[in-house]
Structure 1
Amino acid sequence: MLMYMDLDRFKYVNDSLGHHAGDNLLFLVGQRLREVVPHAGMIARQGGDEFIVLLSGKDDVLQVEAIAQRLVDALSQSFTVFDKQIYVGASIGIVRLPEDAQDMVSAMRYADICLYRAKKSGKGCYRLWDRSYLQDSTPERIQIESELREGIERGELILHYQPKVNAVAGELHSLEALVRWQHPRLGLIYPDSFIGIAEESNLIVELDRWVIAAVAEQQLAWRKQGLVIVPVSLNVSASHITRADLVLLFAQILNEHPELANYIEVELTETAIMADPDQATISLNHLLHLGVKSSVDDFGSGYTSLGYLKKLNANTLKIDRTFIDDITEDGYDRDVAKAIIALANSLSMEVVAEGVETKAQWDLLASFGCQYLQGYYFSKPKPAEEIARLLASQK
């Protein structure tokens, strides 16, 4: 049996306490693995914060799951590093040999896919190999990944911007930047077709960096044209919010262009925040100090605790559109939307309802006290040149 594991918060330890602390933590993890599975055929560090455990014998699924759970539990306990209590946790991908794979190349590939599935499920868990996972690794998907990598380098990505309006008068308040891929062969590709691939292949961080730089560049271009700019929000992935270089990237941009402070904002989904809420809290508070406000996107679809919501110091809650679609007919959706608006007001947060497509939805949300609205009723996402005309009309 092959177990391929990755520490969930190792980079945070490295970035905050230094590489010496990280090296010491890796040593302690190795020791703990030997304590949990003393009869393992091999325990090895694969690289970075990844470990491999090989176990011999014909264990059934229940035994395999029991061992995996013991490893997850053991690695979720604290480690003492330089007199500090450190918590990391781990995610594990599991392949049974030779039932699932007959060679080590396939076994490592399958284990890596399982590991990704575990991390995508919220980290701190394990996933056993299932052949259905190969459906997400088709040649077409691999080709899209390769072309996306090249597309980022060749400048094939573009941004469209969707207005957010004041709920009282319907006047422009701010914008959300939404990435598109102008593929040379397939034409304009929307994010639903490539964001998942970017997340799985770790291209998402590179894509995030491109979007952040592009938004800053566009804001500067609009200012140069003499337009009155409004705040522009952009989406940040779960993978990126836990990285120190996200804060450093914004710090560099705002150091060079301090006039952009309070004019670029970040949006994170509840799922992204709760994947590592402690690090998300640290990052968002650092960004706020720089002049970058944040929004909790798709609120109501996840499980953000009220305690974390207060610590995040986020400026805005965005009501998940699933509660907006039938809000005029569905009493449950109305009650949820009204409760989220009341919660936001009690925390001195602004609230945006996304997916507004009718005047009846607008009127109802405004009556509940929702400050801002976003959706096709007001405008679909538009290219920068069309937004420039909209900004010019605001003078």
Structure 2
Amino acid sequence: MLVVFGVLWTIAWVWPLVMFQGDQSEAISLDEGFFVVLALLCPPGAVVLTVGAVTLVAQLIKRRPLAKVIFNSGQMLVSVAAGEATFVAIHGFHRPLTAMAVLAAVAGALVFIVVNSGAVASILGVTGTPLRAALLDGVEIRLLVNGAGVSIAIVVALVAAAYNWALPFAVLPLLVLRFVLAGHFEARSDRSRLQGLFESTLEISSSIEATRTTQSAILDSARKLLRCSDAQLSEPGAPAGPLQATLRLVDGPLVLSVAGRNRAEPFDGADRAMLDALAMVGATSLGNAALYKETRQQRERLSAITASLGEGVCAVDRLGRITFLNPAAAAMLGWDELCRTDGTWFDNDLLLSAATPSFILAHAQRAIAKLDTITNDDARFTSPNGTTHNVAVTVAPIIEGEVATGAVLTFRDITERKRFEEELARYAFYDALTGLPNRRLFMDHLDHALTRSERSGEQHAVLFADVDRFKVINDSLGHQSGDHLLMAIAQRLKASVRPGDVLSRFGGDEFTLLLEGITPEDSIACAQRILDRMREPVTLPDGHEVVTSVSIGVGLTGGGKTRDDVLRDADVAMYQAKARGRGACYKVFDVDAMGLRSAERIELEAGLRRALENDEFVVHFQPVVDLVESRVVGAEALVRWNHPTKGVLLPSDFIGVAEDTGLIMPLGLRVLEEACTLARQWRDEFGVALDIAVNLSAYQFREAGLFESVRAILEHTGVHPAQICLEITESLAMEDTERTAMVFERLKGLGVRLSIDDFGTGYSALGYLASFPVDLVKVDRSFVEGIDRDPVRSAIIGAVVSLSEAIGIAAVIEGIETEGQLEHLRSLGCRRGQGFLFARALPAQELAELLGSGQRLYPPTADERRDAEAMSTDDPSGVGREDQLTAWRVGA
């Protein structure tokens, strides 16, 4: 009997039932049951020895450490001895199975349980477990198991004592109890594992804010669920614990391993399944943590970007509520109070409750309805502080699946751009100085008026007004005074017309006026009102009072005229008015009187273009003579037009049209190239370095490419630059003295000489000569006429010659026509001159013959002059007279 139960007890120790309580496990071998059976059936001493043997054999089979073998053996011996002592003390050594014996056995079992539990609790307390927890954790299940074991043991002992043959059947209840408890503990363990896995999943999933926190939660859960002291995450191939599971991540796998578990509780398949499940949960959570981190970083970047944008950004849900707003949008909308103190986010409750501005709501609804993006749509709104904003809006729908759940809008403030565009529009259609409509807007009004007149038959008039002597005032008093004068004239013109009339500054000192729905008499009355207002003097900022006038031409619509026809008629009539005498005149276009002249001007323009193509222009040269030695020292290049039907035309017949049409530019360059070519040819042929003067028109001098054009011609012709003298008039030089000096300096850098022509006509101070890098000054012919009789003119020329010599500039006197003038000029010390007294403008061939002959030019005798005067009676043009005089002046 003792051997059978000893063996059974040994088996129970080697393969005990394991009860898990939290992260602790406890082996249950039904010791109290075996104790009760042996206490009732066997002598006390034999029981103690049997328990000692069972404990030792079981410890050796399980290869427990020596210290643990000693502790467990001692614990069991003390517990059994205490229990047996209690049993003997109550029942004695006699063994009849009475009720008292059963009570004694129960009391001994209680003592056995108490001593055994106390020993275990003391060891746990030494390792750090609180004594209360060591004694009370799981006390309910232990009491149930102990009670069941003691009860079944009493029945087994009674059956075995009465019927030895029934011993196998008596042991069966203990085996049934063991299997029942095993199933219960396994179910309890599974439930505990599932509960732990669930709690661990929640804990791990809630720690995705940081990858390190998630890893720490995974390791804590692994140690807790598998009751191990060590858990780690490592790269594949690194040292790891005995139980491992792989976490498959996007960035590469990690190995989750555990170690440090009680040897009495080896890892099994359930542990492996638990670790695999935990690895799957961990992999998902780590992936979520990485995604959360990336999402948070992107959100922070997007938040920083939207916060730094100068454009407003907002999001609207399908209900039209604003769900997001960046600081720029909040500032424009006047919702700064929604911004948190750090300026990075907004109070969503206030944001959702705020009224969505209509322009945002309208654009969002359009984008949501169309499921398409709307770009650069202009809108206008007024913020709560009363500021009006013009914005350019771009809106895109937020689409989930195929349904728009909201929209994102960006809008930038274009108020300044709109203001700038309005300013540009104003500059495009209005004159900056006077504020009047400009040519473009006037032409647009004229087009509309002509279109209306085609339907209604109304007649309109265009008045073309040009300020008389404006250039003189502008040049003498300065541009600021000229601008003030133009503004004053514009005000007077506005005061002279009806509110509906269109008055414009057509350009420069020209004004145009469109009178709609009037008669010719009305237009004349309007012109007269304008002239009457102009009679009052204008006070300029510098205190000068200027009395100015305008010349007005009137052109009438009708007869299928285009706008160009009407403007041309008004322009022609204006020039006719100016030709009558500058000073408060007007003229209505008369097709019979003026139409022919207008047609002639058009024909002349066309002829100029053909002449340039057909090379009809020739260059003549008027010699410049040394007044002392009568030698030809230079020549002035003058253009002539060999017209196919009208003969030779002088510059006065066509230069004005050439300037108006811009043809003066190619014509002037052609004259310069011809002069440079002949200057080099004569130098090579005759050894004479003749100075050739070439006039530059105002249009040429203002041309930006003048320097490059002159340089190209000099290089092409190969002429010595010092032989070429470029001339501009005094009035042109004084238009803008700073620019004149700059252009002169650049031209001077090419090596050419520079000259001021018609000096004295622009009323400039003599001191200005020193401010320009000129080589020559030509005194206008108006000062030479009557010089031998007018002491004032004589003094002026003498002063110019003296000043020129003082500053190193040569002086040339133009228009010398009499011997008296010549002798008087010689007496004033004049060295150079030109005029009909010496020669007219000669064709290039004649001048070449003169240079080749080496002859000098002498004034004609009195008899020669008398004969020449007689010839002029038969030749009113005077050309024959000039030819005769030239022939007489050539001498040895």
TM-score above 0.5, yes or no = yes
CA distance in structure 1 between the aligned counterparts of 2:731 and 2:433, rounded to whole angstroms:
31
Match of 2:515 among 97, 102, 108: 97
Distance 1:306 1:90, change over 3 A: farther
For residue 774 of structure 2, give the secondary structure of its aligned residue in structure 1.
coil
Is 2:750 the counterpart of 1:290?
yes
Is 2:728 the counterpart of 1:268?
yes
Is 2:854 the counterpart of 1:387?
no
Aligned residue identity for 1:187: G
Match of 1:70 among 473, 487, 493: 487
Is 2:184 the counterpart of 1:184?
no
CA distance in structure 2 between the aligned counterparts of 1:236 and 1:357, rounded to whole angstroms:
25
CA contact 1:355–1:375 (8 Å) conserved in 2:
yes
1:149 matched residue in structure 2: 609
CA contact 1:95–1:111 (8 Å) conserved in 2:
no
Match of 1:208 among 668, 671, 676: 668
For residue 641 of structure 2, give the secondary structure of its aligned residue in structure 1.
strand
CA distance in structure 2 between the aligned counterparts of 1:366 and 1:28, rounded to whole angstroms:
63
2:866 matched residue in structure 1: none
Per-residue deviation, residues 13-32 of structure 1 (Å, max 9, x unmatched): xxxxxxxxxxx9x9598189
Aligned-pair distance for 1:276?
4.1
2:134 matched residue in structure 1: none
Greater relative contact order (Cα 8 A, min sep 6): structure 1 or 2? 1
CA contact 2:574–2:586 (8 Å) conserved in 1:
no
Is 2:749 the counterpart of 1:332?
no
Aligned residue identity for 2:796: V
Per-residue deviation, residues 181-225 of structure 1 (Å, max 9, x unmatched): 111111111222222222232222222111111112222332443
CA contact 2:686–2:851 (8 Å) conserved in 1:
no
Aligned residue identity for 1:221: Q
Distance 1:68 1:351, change over 3 A: closer
Aligned residue identity for 2:846: E
For residue 290 of structure 1, give the secondary structure of its aligned residue in structure 2.
coil
CA contact 2:429–2:438 (8 Å) conserved in 1:
no
Alignment map for 1:23-42 (pairs within 5 Å): 27=424, 30=427, 33=430
Distance 1:367 1:189, change over 3 A: same
Per-residue deviation, residues 48-98 of structure 1 (Å, max 9, x unmatched): xxx979699xxxx9xx9999933999xxxxxxxxxxxxxxx9544323324
Aligned-pair distance for 1:305?
4.3
Matched residues, percent identical? 30
For residue 339 of structure 1, give the secondary structure of its aligned residue in structure 2.
helix
CA distance in structure 2 between the aligned counterparts of 1:71 and 1:224, rounded to whole angstroms:
59
CA contact 1:238–1:273 (8 Å) conserved in 2:
no
Aligned residue identity for 2:705: D
Distance 1:135 1:107, change over 3 A: closer
CA distance in structure 2 between the aligned counterparts of 1:104 and 1:383, rounded to whole angstroms:
44
CA contact 1:271–1:302 (8 Å) conserved in 2:
yes
Aligned-pair distance for 1:303?
2.7
Unpaired runs of 5+ residues, structure 2, are 1-420, 449-462, 468-482, 491-506, 517-522, 524-553, 577-583, 856-892
2:131 matched residue in structure 1: none
Is 2:790 the counterpart of 1:372?
no
2:698 matched residue in structure 1: 238
Distance 1:115 1:356, change over 3 A: same
Distance 1:132 1:328, change over 3 A: farther
Distance 1:27 1:261, change over 3 A: farther
2:9 matched residue in structure 1: none
Alignment map for 1:208-227 (pairs within 5 Å): 208-227=668-687
Distance 1:241 1:37, change over 3 A: closer
CA distance in structure 2 between the aligned counterparts of 1:362 and 1:308, rounded to whole angstroms:
27
CA contact 2:814–2:834 (8 Å) conserved in 1:
yes
CA distance in structure 2 between the aligned counterparts of 1:162 and 1:316, rounded to whole angstroms:
16
Match of 1:344 among 804, 809, 812: 804
Aligned-pair distance for 1:108?
4.3
2:99 matched residue in structure 1: none
Aligned-pair distance for 1:135?
8.3
Distance 1:111 1:318, change over 3 A: same
Per-residue deviation, residues 99-156 of structure 1 (Å, max 9, x unmatched): 4443633454467779999xxxxxxxxx998547968952222212211221122111
CA distance in structure 2 between the aligned counterparts of 1:394 and 1:45, rounded to whole angstroms:
60
Higher helix proportion: 2
Aligned residue identity for 1:192: S
Aligned-pair distance for 1:316?
1.3
Distance 1:164 1:96, change over 3 A: same
1:312 matched residue in structure 2: 772
For residue 837 of structure 2, give the secondary structure of its aligned residue in structure 1.
coil
Aligned residue identity for 2:731: T
CA contact 2:722–2:753 (8 Å) conserved in 1:
yes
Aligned residue identity for 1:30: Y
CA distance in structure 2 between the aligned counterparts of 1:207 and 1:278, rounded to whole angstroms:
27
Aligned-pair distance for 1:311?
2.8
Match of 2:819 among 349, 355, 359: 359
CA distance in structure 2 between the aligned counterparts of 1:215 and 1:300, rounded to whole angstroms:
27
CA distance in structure 2 between the aligned counterparts of 1:230 and 1:37, rounded to whole angstroms:
51
CA distance in structure 2 between the aligned counterparts of 1:111 and 1:152, rounded to whole angstroms:
29
For residue 161 of structure 1, give the secondary structure of its aligned residue in structure 2.
strand
Aligned-pair distance for 1:290?
0.6
CA distance in structure 1 between the aligned counterparts of 2:585 and 2:662, rounded to whole angstroms:
21
Measured on the aligned residues, the alpha-carbon RMSD in Å equals: 4.0
CA distance in structure 2 between the aligned counterparts of 1:308 and 1:113, rounded to whole angstroms:
38
Aligned residue identity for 1:208: G
Distance 1:259 1:210, change over 3 A: closer
CA distance in structure 1 between the aligned counterparts of 2:692 and 2:653, rounded to whole angstroms:
23
Aligned residue identity for 2:853: S
**Bigger radius of gyration among the two:** 2
Aligned-pair distance for 1:167?
2.1
Unpaired runs of 5+ residues, structure 1, are 1-23, 74-88, 118-126
Per-residue deviation, residues 328-348 of structure 1 (Å, max 9, x unmatched): 122232122222223323332
For residue 369 of structure 1, give the secondary structure of its aligned residue in structure 2.
coil
Distance 1:327 1:34, change over 3 A: closer
Aligned-pair distance for 1:247?
1.4
1:7 matched residue in structure 2: none
For residue 149 of structure 1, give the secondary structure of its aligned residue in structure 2.
helix
Q: How many residues align?
A: 337
CA distance in structure 2 between the aligned counterparts of 1:67 and 1:259, rounded to whole angstroms:
47
Per-residue deviation, residues 31-52 of structure 1 (Å, max 9, x unmatched): 89477777x7x66758xxxx97
Distance 1:95 1:251, change over 3 A: same
TM-score normalised over the length of structure 1: 0.72
CA contact 1:93–1:111 (8 Å) conserved in 2:
no
Match of 1:165 among 625, 629, 639: 625
Distance 1:189 1:35, change over 3 A: closer
CA contact 2:677–2:719 (8 Å) conserved in 1:
no
Distance 1:286 1:269, change over 3 A: same
Aligned residue identity for 2:487: R
